[in-house]
Amino acid sequence: MPKIKMPRSAPSIDMTPMVDLAFLLVTFFMLSANFRETEPVQVDTPSSISETIIPKNVIMVTVGEKGHVFFNITGADTRRDLLAAMGDKYNVKFTEEQAENFLKMTSFGCRMADMPKYLDMTTEERKRQVEVPGFVGIPADTARANELRDWISLGNSLAMKYGKDQYEEALTKDPNAIADDFKPKFILKVDSKALYVYAKNVIDIFRDLNLNNLNFVTNLEGNPNGSASSEKKEE
């Protein structure tokens, strides 16, 4: 008696649950993400063909076209302790909310006396303050108040401290870790239309503090390899 052949069917997988999960994950990340704030001032940097990439652990000073000076430093712990140290030095008190706003900011620039008001502003309000005479810009004139020197000096000390801790932790995982990779790098970003004296004031501050490994941010242009991205150039 002949055997009855059962029809064969290809197996199928229902992808509906996978699609639902993907959309749920996308929605979760969109709602929980903290978007990075934009810079309070746009700087048109000069061009070069150097291709050195900006490192992550940096202390950056930005000089706008009109000479306004802005400061930025990476690392949440470093930023929090730096704001507290500057507040103690200049007798300025900050609320917890203002301290949290400081951690979320990129570059910032104002006098210490105006810092609480600056931290209470929105990103758009800080951008508009660039046009207000006397409000925006960290004092950096060596002949008068030089708050920028204190931001750089205290910031470097704290960044070195946390960099040392991170290096010692890295050694437990990788005996070949390099100490210099955890030290802060100093970067100067100057608008190509700014007067040289504005940049010189900042450079003099770094030199007075014996921080001579200063780098300059430029736009990559005319590169023989044909790439076009931001970079930094060694002084």
H or E stretch covering 63: strand 58-63
Is it the case that residue 137 has pLDDT exceeding 80?
yes
The confidence score (pLDDT) of residue 206 equals 94
Per-residue buried b or exposed e for 173-209, using 16+ beta carbons within 10 Å of the residue's own CB: eeeeeeeeebbbbbbbbbbeebeeebbebbbebbeee
How does residue 93 score in pLDDT terms, banded at 50, 70 and 90? very high
* 78 vs 131, higher pLDDT: 78
110-128, pLDDT tens digit by residue?
Answer: 899 999 999 999 888 887 7
Is it the case that residue 99 has pLDDT exceeding 70?
yes
**Stated pTM of the model:** 0.72
How does residue 40 score in pLDDT terms, banded at 50, 70 and 90? low
The confidence score (pLDDT) of residue 6 equals 61
4-29, pLDDT tens digit by residue?
Answer: 666 666 666 766 777 777 777 777 66
- Average pLDDT, integer, range 28-40: 58
Pairing of strands 58-63, 69-73: antiparallel
- What's the gap between Cα 140 and its chain centre? 20
- Average pLDDT, integer, range 57-67: 88
162-174, pLDDT tens digit by residue?
Answer: 989 888 988 998 8
> Residues with Cβ < 8 Å from 183, sequence gap 6 or more?
57, 159, 160, 163
- Average pLDDT, integer, range 121-141: 79
* 217 vs 59, higher pLDDT: 59
The confidence score (pLDDT) of residue 37 equals 54
Q: What is the percentage of the chain residues whose pLDDT exceeds 90?
A: 34
The confidence score (pLDDT) of residue 57 equals 78
The dihedral formed by the CA atoms of 129, 135, 137 and 143, expressed in degrees to the nearest 10: 160
